[in-house]
Structure 1
């Protein structure tokens, strides 16, 4: 694996900032921001309504406090690229990348559980929201970077994507 080109690094940062912006402005929750941003990064291979599939995942799966919604959204975004339709063979590369996403967030934040990630914050505080916005951006950036590393999917990325 070679050194990532500067344009790719900028694109990853643009993905991070776009996902963070959607969440920060209240346009989407964490899972929705990731799915919407990655669909956009890929040049809209799915209708914009695909984001609706991720709407039950915020605040740890429907406000249950379990798996971080951003991580759920990241896994859904991987499904947009590596998922299969009925009768197709499963693309095995999705599993290690999805596991790597989980491990990446767990290594950075010591958990992927929403209630653990936000335990040091008053839930309605701007500090908690900013914390979750950063996690959302990190997940979107991680997915973008992984897609760029894969020569089979890098060609699907809209290089004109702008934050």
Structure 2
């Protein structure tokens, strides 16, 4: 598939941090929401992973809400900590100019090497934030 040059399945050590796990899941073909959800909760529930699929490309490729952020909100809710979603938004905004996939991706051609590298970076960073929030 053009543009998916680095998305090959690879083993991620079990003791890897949430960001590294999310990056590995993204590299393996999961979208940003799926990668954050799985990396931070350890879920293997197919229905949850399939539900996260809808957040690809900023909700059905609309470019709206960043899928990594949506996956993080799903993880917090699944862990019984939905009130931390607001804090996730605050922390995300501290490191990024927007929460909108379209804005975060604007400098890059869609599905280009640079675009996917940017999404992978945001996915890993978001997983680290969510992991920290879940541990608080």
Which band: TM-score by shorter chain? 0.7 to 0.9
Distance in 2 separating the partners of 1:50 and 1:115: 24
CA contact (8 A) 2:25 2:35 kept: yes
Q: Which of 121, 145, 157 is residue 132 of structure 2 equivalent to?
A: 145
Structure 2: gaps spanning 5 or more residues: 1-14
Residue 81 (str. 1) matches residue 85 (str. 2): no
Residue 34 (str. 1) matches residue 22 (str. 2): no
Q: Which of 105, 118, 122 is residue 131 of structure 1 equivalent to?
A: 118
Task: Give the TM-score normalised by the residue count of structure 2.
Answer: 0.82
Give per-residue Cα distances to partners, 1:1-44, cap 9 Å, x unaligned. Answer: xxxxxxxxxx6x61100101111232x0000111112221xxx4
Q: Which of 64, 68, 71 is residue 69 of structure 2 equivalent to?
A: 71
**1:102 alignment partner in structure 2:** 89
**3-state SS in 1 of match to 2:36:** helix
Q: Which of 70, 87, 98 is residue 111 of structure 1 equivalent to?
A: 98
Shift of 1:94: 2.5
Structure (1 or 2) with the larger CA radius of gyration: 1
Structure 1: gaps spanning 5 or more residues: 1-10, 83-92, 150-163
User: What RMSD in Å do the two structures reach over aligned CA positions?
Assistant: 1.6
Shift of 1:48: 4.3
**3-state SS in 2 of match to 1:121:** coil
CA contact (8 A) 2:72 2:130 kept: yes
**3-state SS in 2 of match to 1:143:** helix
Matched positions, count: 122
Distance in 2 separating the partners of 1:106 and 1:136: 14
